[in-house]
Every structure is written in structure tokens, then in C-alpha cells.
Amino acid sequence: MDRYIFSLMARATVRGVSPEWMEDLYSLALVPDKAIYLDIDVEHLIPRALASTGFDYWE
């Protein structure tokens, strides 16, 4: 479920799209039973990102 509709909705809302419009747009999408938010501090994120392929556009 990585980055399912919730990420799309959050990004669009930050860009100025109406949250109500986004909810209506994705109203047909399945809603997961559980969403898990992973939180990491900068001191741990940077070495992990640089050891892999680096940061992507959204990071």
C-alpha cells in the first residue's frame, strides 16, 4: 500500500487543491483497514538515504 491515495491527497492539498475535491475524486478507492505512519529523525534518515539510492523527488 506504499503511498496509496493518502499520499496523493496530501501532496495535492499542499499544492492548493481542495481537500473536499480530492476526497470526492478518490471516493471509489478502497480504504485500508490500517495505515502505519513511519517517523524517522534527520540524523537517522540521511545516512540511510545516502547509503541507498539517495533522496528522491518527494524526500
6-12 contacts at long range (C-beta below 8 A, 24 or more positions apart): 6/35, 11/58
Nine cell digits for residue 32: 485500508
- pLDDT, residue 57, reads 66
Domain count, the chain: 1
In a domain, 9, yes or no: yes
User: What's the CA gap between 32 and 4, in Å, rounded?
Assistant: 9
- 58 belongs to a structural domain: no
pLDDT tens per residue, range 6-30: 888 888 999 999 999 998 998 888 8
User: What pLDDT does residue 54 have?
Assistant: 64
Q: Residue 20: inside a domain, yes or no?
A: yes
CA distance 29 to 12: 16
* Residue range(s) defining the domain that contains residue 42: 5-51
21 assigned to some structural domain:
yes
For residue 59, being part of any structural domain is answered with: no
Give per-residue pLDDT as tens, 24-57.
998 888 888 887 877 888 898 888 778 877 666 6
User: Which residue in this structure is represented by grid cell 470526492?
Assistant: 24
Q: Looking at the domain assignment, is residue 29 inside a domain?
A: yes
What pLDDT shows up at residue 24? 93
Are 4 and 31 contacting, i.e. CB atoms less than 8 angstroms apart? no
